Amino acid sequence: MAETTPAATDVLEPGGGAPAAPTLRIDARDDRVVATLDRPERRNAIDQVMVDELHALCSELEERPRTLILAGAGGIFAAGADIAQLRERTGDDARRGINATVFSRIRHLPMPVIAAVDGYALGGGAELAYAADIRIGTPRVRFGNPEPGLGIIAAAGAAWRLPEIVGHARANELLLTTRVIDADEALAWGLLSSVHEPDALLAAAHAIVDRVAANSVRATILTKRALLAPRAEHPAIDGELQAELFDSADKRARMTAFLERKKK
């Protein structure tokens, strides 16, 4: 049965004040976890508390792999990083890669990550979506990276993940002009895989997870590992990953069941 719990223990506000309210709503199930960004008063802006809770969630999913659905509350995915916090960060903070580190951890989770994007996904919110394996959205989607207008760059993954997704020419345009694109353009560019009405978005994400769940968990994990491997490691890594699966009881059972179905 699904259970809704915070992703991490309460975090004290700077200066030892009262515990900060959780920023993620977690619906944990046997084969999937839905994590909803939930700071409606800040348009789900990504702050340090949310970063910490995302790290805690990653720890759980690294230990017990399940497919992750990322969503945003209130018709917004995430309007960016928390500018009030970002304004106070220093060069040393930039070198620590606060958002980049947690987004990379999300990207490298063992099982697939699906971003169910509604409304604005801007700045750090867009970069969180770029870290997912699959992105779906609604007609209200707006993607953009306004960082140069704020005197910074999109340094949490956009500079290398966005070109991989949409190609260098389109990524150059978005990152250098800070233009915001809508759902139609995002779909045409391959940034979104599909578009659904807002009230059907989460169901569409769950349908994708259902397809993933029907497959071998280990084969899914190794497929993602192959997809993330550098080009120079192919085809050698594919052979090594396949060798593990070829010797597995799960492969034999699944192929035997397939052949039995064909006989009927």
Which residues sit opposite 111 in a β-bridge? none
CA distances from 42 to 3, 30, 50, 209, 255 (A): 25, 31, 12, 29, 50
What are residue 194's phi and psi, to 5 degrees?
A: -160, 160
The alpha carbon torsion through 144, 145, 150, 151 (nearest 10 deg) reads -150
CA-to-CA distance for 25 and 191, rounded, in angstroms? 25
What are residue 81's phi and psi, to 5 degrees?
A: -75, 160
**What 3 state SS string does 149-195 have?**
HHCCCCCCCHHHHHHHHHCHHHHHHHHHHCCCEEHHHHHHHCCCCEE
- Residue 147 annotated as catalytic: yes
Q: Do 78 and 37 contact (CB within 8 A), yes or no?
A: yes
CA-to-CA distance for 164 and 121, rounded, in angstroms? 18
Please identify which of the residues 63, 88, 147, 185 carries the catalytic annotation: 147
Token representation of residue 13: 């506000």
Q: Which residues contact 206 (CB under 8 A, 6 or more apart)?
A: 32, 69
Please identify which of the residues 13, 53, 127, 240 carries the catalytic annotation: 127
- Residue 60 annotated as catalytic: no
Run of H or E residues at 251: helix 249-263
Q: Which residues are catalytic, by number?
A: 127, 147
